[in-house]
Each structure stands twice: as C-alpha cells, then as structure tokens.
Amino acid sequence: MVQIPVYVFTGFLYYGKTKFIQETLEDPRFNAGERTLLLVCEEGEEEYDFSTYPYPNVYLEVVDQQTVTTKQMRELAKKHKAQRVVAELNGMCMVGDLYSRFPEEWAVAQEVMFADSTTIMAYNANMRNLVMDKLVGGQMVVFNRLTPGQDVMPLHKLVRAANRRMDILYDYTDGTTSFDDIEDPLPFDINAPVILVNDQDYALWYRDVTEEPQKYHGKTVSFKGQVAMLRRDKNGMFAPGRFVMTCCEDDIQFCGVPCRYEGAKSLEPRSWVALTATIQAEKHVLYQGELGPVLTAIKVEPAEPAVPDVATF
C-alpha cells in the first residue's frame, strides 16, 4: 500500500494558518511539483492564491470536518491523484476525531499548531480541552503576534503542560522569530540510585518514561499507584498507575505501567500500593509493537491514597 503523507495545520480562526500554508506552497523547497490535495476544513477571510505557486498541481477541496467520511477523503485523493495532503483544520473541532476517519493509507507526517499570543490564554481558560487537543499531538506550535521583549514563560508553560517534545517558535511583530530554548528540569532525579516520584509528579514521570523509555532502561523507580490488572497477563503481572487528567474531567484516563510481580494475584484491584521496581525498555502488547517501560517489582506494599488522587500536569 502506497502511503500518502499528510501535513496538518491546526489552530483557531484568524490564527494565521492560511497565510502560512500559502507561503509554504509558494516555496519551491516544499512545492516541487507534487500533486497536492489541499483539504480545507475552515474558511477564513484570507484566500489561497494559486497563481503564486511554482507548480500548478495543488487542488483545493473544502469539507466539513465534523461530517466528512473516510470514503469521501479517499475519493478526493483519488480524484486528484494526490501524492500528499495538506490539511487546514477547524479549530473548534477535535483533531483526533478527524484522524480516526483518515483513510488507512494516509499517514500524518507533521502537525503544526498556530496560536495568537494575544488570545490563546483566554481560549485556554474557556476552551481548554480544544487547546490541549491541538498541543498534545503536535510537533510544533507557532505563537504569532508577539511584541519584542514580551514574557513568553506563560506560553512555554502552557505547551509543556501538554507536550514536552513540541518545538515552540515565537513570531514577533517586528518580523523576527526565535525558537524556545527554556530548559525544563524534571522534578525528580533520574540519575539517583532510586528515582523517587512524588504524588504530585506522577503525570510528568509517566509521560517522560513512556516517551523516552530507553532513557530509564536499567534504572529503579519508586512511586505510589493504584492496582490495575492486565487482561492478557493475569499471572505474575499487574499495572500500577494513576488516573491522570490532561485538561478537564472529560479526559481523565488511567495511566499505568505493566509490572512483573509474583504476588500480582493477591492484589486487590483499585487498591493503593507503594512500589519500588526496576525499569526495562521492551516491547509489550500495551505499546502496540513499540518499545515501552516494563517494570519488575522489588517491593510492593499497601499504601494510603495519593493526594490528590487524580494526577495532573
């Protein structure tokens, strides 16, 4: 099956998506004549000017992000014999909902979010689930309309609460740009003989260990979590973890790590334990063929519930 790369641009209305896509398609380094399906899910005041493109093989199709089907998207790609897709998404819709309807041959190559620095914090205060939705899966966010000398720390913290790997670009009103270079030390020492993860830091540790499991390979960790049993590995394994909230109560989910433990059968589901375990980076069914953290218990003891019981970033 031939894969069709998809370049996704997210953000709210008037945040600069159309302008950036227009300039990108004008650049011969990006537009070298590939047949490109330009899938627009949100129409703003700016329009695309096809006369400026170095090659004419760009085909615009406007769709409703909430109702477009897998079949319709596949037919549009076939209609234009598309070699790739550039998608401008509707900021008021969830990205994941559309991804779940992408044809199986469509593969997201890059996801970039655009954010107006003058309004994004208000959007985050009132529609946090929509803001987090764009930040969690993106590779880069561009904060535009910044004034030179403006404090970028609130924007940095907003992004890092959702995504520690996302590149951050600041676009200033004087025409200059700069990449974010603020370092974020982890609140626990990964080089300690035993990595002590406090209750308030579990979400950060879980995200870091699942994103970079090899960094933790061979290390020992200690944390407090709830017992979850694994459907496929009922004998000698369980999954200690915590309920984690990214942005709101609607997105709370259990985030556990598979753990080898001979006494797993004796554990009560949802009970709290204090765990000390070694970490290995290896494949497990939970990680769908990718490397992920797998624990081997050294000590498992009953514990009082964590405070708060739901972990956050």
> Can you give the pLDDT at residue 2?
84
CA angle 252, 204, 200 (to 5 degrees): 80
Q: Would you say 145 and 116 are in contact if contact means Cβ atoms under 8 Å apart?
A: yes
> Can you give the pLDDT at residue 197?
96
**H or E element that contains 22:** helix 17-26
Choose among 202, 119, 108, 201: nearest CA to 158. Answer: 119
Which residues 6+ apart lie within 8 Å of 231 measured at CB? none
- Residue 233, CA distances (Å) to 68, 126, 148 in order: 39, 42, 55
Q: Would you say 311 and 242 are in contact if contact means Cβ atoms under 8 Å apart?
A: yes
- Residue 115, CA distances (Å) to 28, 180, 265 in order: 26, 15, 49
Q: Would you say 30 and 38 are in contact if contact means Cβ atoms under 8 Å apart?
A: no
* pTM > 0.75: no
> Can you give the pLDDT at residue 233?
64
Report the length, in residues, of the chain.
Answer: 313
Series of mean pLDDT values for 10-residue runs along the chain (313 residues): 92 86 94 95 84 94 96 97 96 93 95 95 92 91 95 93 89 95 89 95 93 96 95 82 77 92 93 97 88 96 91 78
Pull the structure tokens for residue 235. 């004998």
> Can you give the pLDDT at residue 43?
76
| Domains present along the chain, CATH in parentheses | 4-179 (3.40.50.300), 195-312 (2.40.50.140)
Alpha carbons 95 and 93: distance in angstroms, whole number: 6
> Can you give the pLDDT at residue 151?
95
**H or E element that contains 134:** helix 128-136
Pairing of strands 106-116, 140-146: parallel
Alpha carbons 191 and 82: distance in angstroms, whole number: 49
> Can you give the pLDDT at residue 16?
85
Helix (H), strand (E), coil (C) string for 25-85: HHCCCCCCCCCEEEEECCCCCCCCCHHHCCCCCEEEEECCCCCCCHHHHHHHHHHCCCCEE
Strand-pairing partners, residue 299, are 276
> Can you give the pLDDT at residue 183?
85
DSSP 192-222: SSSEE--GGGHHHHHHHHHH-GGGGTT-EEE
Tokens 């609460």 -> residue: 161
Q: Would you say 195 and 244 are in contact if contact means Cβ atoms under 8 Å apart?
A: no
- Residue 86, CA distances (Å) to 25, 77, 109 in order: 10, 11, 10
Alpha carbons 301 and 275: distance in angstroms, whole number: 7
Pull the structure tokens for residue 105. 């041959």
Alpha carbons 26 and 176: distance in angstroms, whole number: 20
Tokens 């949802």 -> residue: 270
Give the HSE-up count for residue 287: Cα atoms under 13 Å, Cβ half-sphere. 18
Which residues 6+ apart lie within 8 Å of 24 measured at CB? 30, 31, 86
C-alpha 279: how far from chain center: 24
Q: Would you say 223 and 241 are in contact if contact means Cβ atoms under 8 Å apart?
A: no
> Can you give the pLDDT at residue 50?
93
